[in-house]
Amino acid sequence: MNNPMTYKAAGVDIDEANLAVGRMRDVIRSTYTPAVLSDVGAFGGLFKATFEGYNDPVLVSSIDGVGTKTKIAQVMARYDTIGRDLVNHSINDILVQGARPLFFLDYFGTGQLDATIASQIVTSIAEACKESGCVLLGGETAQMPDVYHGADFDLVGTIVGIVDREKMLPTTQVMPGCAVIGIASSGLHTNGYTLARRVLFDMAKLNPGSYVPELNSTVGDALMAVHRSYAPDILPLLDEFPIAALAHITGGGFYDNIPRVIPSDCRVAIERRSWEVPPIYRLIQESGQVPDYDMFHTFNMGIGMVLICGRDIAATVVERLNAQVTQAAIIGEVSRGAHDVQLV
């Protein structure tokens, strides 16, 4: 045979994968706690299931990705933040049920593996995990040239957290008269990028390096703003105040996410003038003539997390959040009615 076929010739480089794992090993281990009973490279991650301080511990899990924000990272050759997006998004998803993160697992799939890129992404995942007290327990690096084109990649993560059953959210205290508090986002977070890219790059003919005075940054920098984690601000509040519910404003925006945490006989009215929509959303809407409904159904519009509590403690909760430079405000109210969200 003149041209023998090898796995590398078919598009999968095992040596490059081993190089990537070698570069990741130390930063992954830096997230470990005494609860970790395995090491990097084990077939499965081992985590000791002893939960001191919990009366009736419940494990909470979630899986999600960063969507086509990967395309912005790729075109900007910037891979040191997208892992943070993934971890913080996942932490927020279990936070809305009152859970603290325990451990995280990641999936990185690509058509052509570059050990440097892979290690930068996993390093950012590990750094975000370490900051949140979350173990990076395992992961998968997949080379699939027949699925992903060239250097295109996908990034997905699974998180497992814990909460006492009696402290799970939402509670039965979500009822008419409750205040709805909006907590500021840091940008688009990890949703709506397909629409944003179509509008900004295809219709408005901008590029990631285009400087827009209204943004006070380039388009690429605005789009790459890291998805913030709300855990440092909200977890202390859960121990101090009777918070009734939290809603992470991700895919589906206001219309799909808030109804997930309110009773079927309640609705939420959101006062649009109660916060200033950041410039990036105005740029997208004006450049693409995007209808209001689509904007609030696709993006977080500057509100990344919604907190629902009794009207009697709402002002104090807002004051406490703003003392942490969180930027929070009362943006609406729960009332009796059809199970939906109204923007007024």
Residue 190: which CATH number? Answer: 3.90.650.10
Together in a domain, 131 and 238 = no
- Both 92 and 220 in one domain: the answer is no
Are residues 266 and 134 both part of a single domain? no
Any domain includes 213? yes
Q: Give the residue from 99, 133, 167 where a domain finishes.
A: 167
Residues 190 and 336 in one domain: yes
Same domain, residue pair 223 and 163: no
**DSSP character for 36?**
B
Domain of residue 231 covers: 179-343
Give residues with Cβ within 8 angstroms of 26, minimum separation 6: none
pTM of the predicted model, to two decimals?
0.94
Indicate the residue among 167, 189, 214 that finishes a domain. Answer: 167
The strand order across the sheet containing 135-143 reads 57-65, 153-164, 100-110, 135-143
Say if 309 falls within a structural domain.
Answer: yes
Q: Say whether both 196 and 312 belong to one domain.
A: yes
- In-domain check, residue 198: yes
- Asked if 245 and 155 sit in the same domain, the reply is no
Decide if 259 is inside a domain.
yes
DSSP designation for 170: S
pLDDT of residue 96: 98
Write the CB contacts of 273 (distance below 8 Å, at least 6 apart in sequence).
Answer: none
Token pair in block for residue 314:
């709402």
Query: How many angstroms separate the first and last alpha carbons of the chain?
Result: 73
Q: Which one of 167, 197, 215 terminates a domain?
A: 167
237 and 329 co-located in one domain:
yes
Number of structural domains the chain divides into? 2
In a domain, 8, yes or no: no
Is the same domain home to 32 and 134?
Answer: yes
Predicted confidence at residue 85, as pLDDT, reads: 97
Residue 143 lies in a domain: yes
Which CATH number characterizes residue 55's domain? 3.30.1330.10
| CB-CB contact of 282 with 214 (8 Å) | yes
Would you say residue 206 lies in a domain?
yes
Segments of the chain with pLDDT less than 70: 1-2
Residues 152 and 225 in one domain: no
- Residue 189 sits in the same domain as residue 322: yes
